[in-house]
Amino acid sequence: MVDARREIHWRPWGEEAFSDARKLGRPILLDIGATWCHWCHVMEETTYSDEEVTRLVEEYYIPVKVDRDRNPEVDRRYQFLVGSVTGEGGWPLTAILTPEGDLITGGTYFPPKDTGGRPGLRRILRDTHEQWKGRGKEGGMDTYRLGVGEPKAPLSADSTAQGKFFQGVLDSLQASYDDAHGGFGHAPKFPHPLSITLAFAAGKMRQDDRLAQIAVETLQRMAEGGVFDQLGGGFHRYSVDHGWHIPHFEKLATDQAFHLRNYIEAFEFTGEDRHLGVVREIVRYLREVMALPEGGFASSQDADRSPGDDGSYFTWSRKELLEILTRDEWRVFQRRYGVDTEGLMPHSSDQNVLFQLFPPEEIASSLNISLDATNALLTSAIGKAQSRRKDRKSPTVDPTRYAVPNGYLGGALALAGRLSADLELIGTAEKAVELFVGKDLPQSGVPHEVRPDGTRTGRGILEDQVAIASGLLDLAEVTGKATYLRSAGKLLEFIQTKFRDSSGLLSDIADGVFDGHIPPGAGDKRFPLEDAPLLSPNSAAAIALLRYADLTGTSEPATAASAIISSAIPHLEGAGFFASSIALAQLISQTEPLKVGVIGKGPAFSELLEIAVRHYYPRKLVLAASELADQAFPPGSLPATVSEGKKAMAIVCLGQRCLAPAYDVSELKERLASLGKTTPETAP
């Protein structure tokens, strides 16, 4: 017997769908989700497979599905609009639109039928259809159109307002800090990497131990929690509980890039190898799972491996662990990773998320065995668990190569490669960024996506340009290749020319370059300023301009960065720690750059470079002697060769002031300790 059940025939986002909606006189049902989104899968498997929902959609609506990674500009607009009207946001985002793109109604996840006080999609579709049919007789219906993203009139914060803003962000960050578990706010708990970077930077420049403690403790709690994949490396997207135990299991490439930077900062700040260990585990995950054979990185790994699943690839039952571990291995593994404690999945009492409950030293003491024996048992048990997990069907990896994750990952991996002297990793980072630049930077900027056949699609999106520019600047510093700096300069000029609005801010799409579709109901420019929770594109552009100023030894880019910062601040009142990246850009702009040039070769050169790289400072530039270094340092400060009788030396400069050469590790440490010190009064 033939299955005659209806299916929803989803249309791609674009003018054709809206044109058909106008011709047929139907509203549009817009579904915005992502390949990695668990609740998007749930809605697909339940609501959109419901026969009555399917009938209503096919008879009365034009259904359009949007992947938020492929169309961030569409997601940004309708997240804002639905959130403003209903107070709901996130994925899946469900919206019913007029053929002009105005919002009729919306929300997030809807079950097929009314459940627990929440309306079902059946009722929403019926009611909206009746309203739509009767709109002529009843004089229309309420709809909502996106207004102007930010005031067009230029606003600029003076020094007093800037100081007040900066302190307000720090106050919000500290007030929101969870003293018991680290992180900011309560469940669900998202990592906020820019707030961590700001806490390190402000802690250093203000000599504020509390801010530094907030950053270090948060990163430690995250690394110990189930939000960090204890066996596979890499971070899940966020934690559903306040203690970092139970994650939402999807892994996003862009998240990994910012976590990498945070743990590099933590290692530089504290010198503690535990943070470097997390860096290695993130890199391992990226190499094993996200790196693509043709170069670049996949965008995400799904949370689920089949319909109805919820992270089963990443969780463990006591029964399964006892099948593969010896009695002694079980005793240490169970204590180390909290099996049968706080990591139990809420809906499945026998499935455990692994998190670090006790350190090996305490386990050894409690079991009355040596630490060496404990570590040996742990190593053996971890190996067995990793081997068993590889036999499982793994969640799908989305191999789409987008500019944002590849730009930020390219930069972060270059820094990680320099830190570990891993030339192969630096090469991998170069390929990820170069994919989006090519030999000549095109006049239309970098694309949103590079497909396996080399096709480049999607033009004129701000976040793509700033991510690749940031990656190029990191590569320029790490490799010393001037070609990367020149490409970054062209891209930053393109950003300034095409995206700068009369308000002084950067819009999310560029007139005359953007090749996507924005309907009238969502047609105004947006000016992304807040971290949500990742880096705001306006902040990213300001920070990139400051980096470019340091690398070129010129002042004009820093002036352009300051203009973005002062224009953004008046629009971020009340944003709290979601404005961390603009506050960070503000702090960097008011901090003299610390530049370290290393000259020479052999072990002595490597030792000096290692010390420079491992030193923490929020506005630091470390360069080996090169064409690029010659223009970055004050004129005449960087000798062409090492002094006679010496194998290597380092020059340390703060702003325009340079110290005498350091010829060994102890001298360089002394120079770095003497420069970069400040008092709380000199920080913002």
Q: What is the 3-state secondary structure (H, E, C) of 568-619?
A: HHHHCCCCHHHHHHHHHHHHHHCCCCEEEEEEECHHHHHHHHHHHHCCCCCC
Residue 72: what are its φ and ψ, rounded to 5°?
-65, -30
pTM: 0.95
- Say which residue the tokens 């900062």 belong to: 265
| Complete DSSP assignment for 626-683 | SHHHHHHSPTT-S-SSPPTT-SEEEEEEETTEEPPPB-SHHHHHHHHHHSS---GGG-
Identify the band that residue 440 occupies on the pLDDT scale cut at 50, 70 and 90.
Answer: low
**What's the rounded Cα separation, in Å, for the pair 472 and 477?**
9
Out of 40-49, 294-303, 331-340, 628-637, which region has the weakest mean confidence (pLDDT)?
628-637
Mean pLDDT of 544-551: 98
**CA angle in degrees (0–180, nearest 5) for 641-645-650:** 50
Mean pLDDT of 24-34: 97
Among residues of the chain, what percentage have pLDDT more than 70? 96
- pLDDT at 267 (0 to 100): 98
Helix (H, G, I), strand (E, B) or coil at 46: coil
Helix, strand, coil shares of the chain, percent, nearest 5, are 50, 10, 40
Q: Cα torsion for 601, 607, 613, 617, to the nearest 10°?
A: -120
pLDDT greater than 90 at residue 318 = yes
Among residues of the chain, what percentage have pLDDT more than 90? 84
Strands 344-345 and 348-352: antiparallel
Q: Cα torsion for 422, 425, 427, 432, to the nearest 10°?
A: -160
Burial of 547 per CB tally in 10 Å (0-12, 13-18, 19+): buried
Burial of 59 per CB tally in 10 Å (0-12, 13-18, 19+): exposed
pLDDT greater than 90 at residue 416 = yes
Identify the band that residue 1 occupies on the pLDDT scale cut at 50, 70 and 90.
Answer: very low
**What's the rounded Cα separation, in Å, for the pair 637 and 204?**
26
Report which of residues 212 and 646 the model is more confident about.
212
For the chain, domains (ranges, CATH) are: 11-133 (3.40.30.10), 307-394 (1.10.10), 592-684 (3.40.30)
- pLDDT at 349 (0 to 100): 81
- pLDDT at 679 (0 to 100): 40
67 HSE (CA, 13 A, CB side): 11
**What's the rounded Cα separation, in Å, for the pair 74 and 95?**
12
Contact 505, 567 (CB under 8 A): yes
Mean pLDDT of 618-632: 90
Distances (CA, A) of 388 to 301, 340, 375: 19, 19, 20
- pLDDT at 356 (0 to 100): 98
The runs of H, that is alpha helices, within 421-517 are 423-437, 462-479, 482-498
Identify the band that residue 313 occupies on the pLDDT scale cut at 50, 70 and 90.
Answer: very high
- pLDDT at 152 (0 to 100): 58
Burial of 49 per CB tally in 10 Å (0-12, 13-18, 19+): middle
Which residue, among 615, 475, 445, has the nearest Cα to 544 in the 3D structure? Answer: 475
**What's the rounded Cα separation, in Å, for the pair 594 and 507?**
31
Residue 243: what are its φ and ψ, rounded to 5°?
-100, 10
- pLDDT at 3 (0 to 100): 46
Identify the band that residue 668 occupies on the pLDDT scale cut at 50, 70 and 90.
Answer: very high
Encoding tokens for residue 221?
């709690």
Identify the band that residue 143 occupies on the pLDDT scale cut at 50, 70 and 90.
Answer: confident
The runs of H, that is alpha helices, within 28-158 are 38-45, 51-60, 72-86, 121-133
Helix (H, G, I), strand (E, B) or coil at 32: strand
Residue 594: what are its φ and ψ, rounded to 5°?
-100, 120
Mean pLDDT of 624-637: 87
Give strand pairing partners of 115. Answer: 118
**What's the rounded Cα separation, in Å, for the pair 408 and 622?**
19
- DSSP 8-state assignment for residue 461: B
Mean pLDDT of 309-315: 90
- pLDDT at 5 (0 to 100): 63
Query: Does residue 399 have a cis bond before it (omega within 30 degrees)?
Result: no
- pLDDT at 680 (0 to 100): 40
pLDDT greater than 60 at residue 677 = no
Identify the band that residue 116 occupies on the pLDDT scale cut at 50, 70 and 90.
Answer: confident
Helix (H, G, I), strand (E, B) or coil at 97: strand
Report which of residues 349 and 285 the model is more confident about.
285
Mean pLDDT of 646-669: 95
Mean pLDDT of 474-501: 96
Average pLDDT, the chain: 93
Identify the band that residue 523 occupies on the pLDDT scale cut at 50, 70 and 90.
Answer: confident
pLDDT greater than 90 at residue 617 = yes
- DSSP 8-state assignment for residue 506: B
- pLDDT at 683 (0 to 100): 54
Which residue, among 476, 412, 372, has the nearest Cα to 283 in the 3D structure? Answer: 412
Identify the band that residue 570 occupies on the pLDDT scale cut at 50, 70 and 90.
Answer: very high
Provide CB contacts within 8 A for 428, sequence distance 6+.
Answer: 287, 291, 413, 417
Tens digit of pLDDT for each residue in 186-241?
899 999 999 999 999 999 999 999 999 999 999 999 999 999 999 999 999 999 99
Mean pLDDT of 347-376: 95
| Complete DSSP assignment for 164-233 | HHHHHHHHHHHHHB-TTT-SBSSSSB---HHHHHHHHHHHHHTT-HHHHHHHHHHHHHHHHSTTB-TTT-
Identify the band that residue 153 occupies on the pLDDT scale cut at 50, 70 and 90.
Answer: low
